[in-house]
Amino acid sequence: MQCNVPAVAAPPVGSYPVNEIFESLQGEASFAGTPSVFVRLQGCPVGCPWCDTKHTWHMGPEREISVSAMGKKTELPCDSYSWCDVSTLANIVRAADAEHVVITGGEPCMYDLRPLIAKLEAWHHRVQVETSGTYVPLVTPTTFVTVSPKYEMPGGRPVLEEALARANEITCPIGKRREIGVVLEQLDPLHQSNGTPIWLQPLSASSRATAICIQAARRYGWRVSLQMNRFINIR
């Protein structure tokens, strides 16, 4: 298979490439309905074909903009990003209303997130990180880690046991019945041994996928997560 997944540039030390920062409600899983500040980092080499944030995949000087320009983006989605140091980034987050911070991407676990999260937690934010499970999450002990495992994607990165073991919850988009078998085989042992909740997410909220998820959740003790943002028409 031809792979056009991007190589990712090494970051300046102590900085993060930020695509956007915005406030909304967390729409999925354990924190559904929670007012949140979303910090979307740039860069992802995983290459999921259905990815809805492909604009975050690529990096390079031609896409770099100032922090102020990043904060004023009006055309979204947009593939530009700004390198932000910890203080700058934490101060932008602090200016928002929400206590809950979601660091997402892209693949945020490409970066050592500990300095940023430590600063935010010192300011009494609760931090959630959303990751594909293909990197070891470098986060603080109190970070809430959501792993949505991406198996056998074009980027060729394996899902890491260490990432799954760190998960506070696991989310799995489901479109077809046979995908339940993967969840059962690869992820249910973790649910059985650690009690890590497994959330099934019906793809496109279709009635067929939703029925498959509900049936599996009842049978195996998992949960169903509908993307509430779709229903109330917010991002």
Binding footprint of ligand SF4 on the chain (CB under 6 A): 44, 46-48, 51, 53, 56, 105-107, 132, 150
3-state SS, one letter per residue, for 196-222: CCEEEEEHHHCHHHHHHHHHHHHHHCC
73 annotated as ligand-binding = no
Measured from the CB atom, the residue of 215 and 227 that comes closer to ligand SF4 is 227
Q: Shortest distance, CB of residue 78 to ligand SF4, whole angstroms?
A: 15
Q: Shortest distance, CB of residue 53 to ligand SF4, whole angstroms?
A: 5
51 annotated as ligand-binding = yes
Contacts of 33 (CB under 8 A, 6+ apart): 25, 26, 228
DSSP strand E in 64-152: where? 82-85, 100-104, 126-131, 144-147
DSSP strand E in 2-112: where? 15-25, 35-41, 82-85, 100-104
Q: Shortest distance, CB of residue 2 to ligand SF4, whole angstroms?
A: 16
Measured from the CB atom, the residue of 58 and 150 that comes closer to ligand SF4 is 150
- Count other Cβ atoms within 10 Å, centred on residue 188: 18
Measured from the CB atom, the residue of 125 and 150 that comes closer to ligand SF4 is 150
Binding site for S-adenosyl-L-methionine, by residue number, is: 50-52, 106, 148-150
| Annotated binding-site members | 25-27, 40, 44, 48, 50-53, 104, 106, 148-150
